[in-house]
Amino acid sequence: MGDWVILTEIALLVVLAAIVVPVVGLFARRRWLSSRGRVFDCALRRGPHPRGSGWMLGTARYSANRLSWYRTYSLAIRPRVELGRDEIEVVRVHPATAHEKRDLLPDSIVVDLGGRHGGTQIAMDRDHLTAFLSWAEAAAPGGGLRGA
């Protein structure tokens, strides 16, 4: 009977660790990202998605010449997508459609990118949009805003 109790306790500890460790990891990763530059919540999608699907929630971090995008629910410390500031071409800025609003954070504004990153869209709130557009505009000649 004692072995059964010990095995049950071990199983419960394993289940608890399987839940707690990833959650703690997500918080630690977010803190680590924040310590290395300005971060903000946004969503990203690549390629055509006619019904408004395909959005992935994430966190973006600015550096001098790169925007690094990380999935929200991932423990990876490497960015999933990196956009060079001189490669970003802002084609259009518009409110999220009704279909897109289901998958995005409240009050999201969508930025359509062109050029090398054509078909990529980033959705963020208005305050972060202003910062993003300022950052993109500060790109070297040949990059940055076009037709926004």
For residue 124, is pLDDT > 70? yes
The mean pLDDT of 32-58, rounded to a whole number, is 79
pTM of the model: 0.73
Q: For 38-145, give the CATH class.
A: mainly beta
Quote the CA–CA distance of 99 and 96 in Å, as a whole number: 8
Residues, the chain: 148
Does 147 have pLDDT greater than 60?
A: no
Question: For residues 143 and 146, what is the distance between their CA atoms, to the nearest angstrom?
Answer: 8
Q: Tell me the per-residue pLDDT of 56-108, one tens digit each, with 9 for 90 and over.
A: 999 998 888 889 999 887 877 889 999 988 888 999 999 998 888 888 988 89
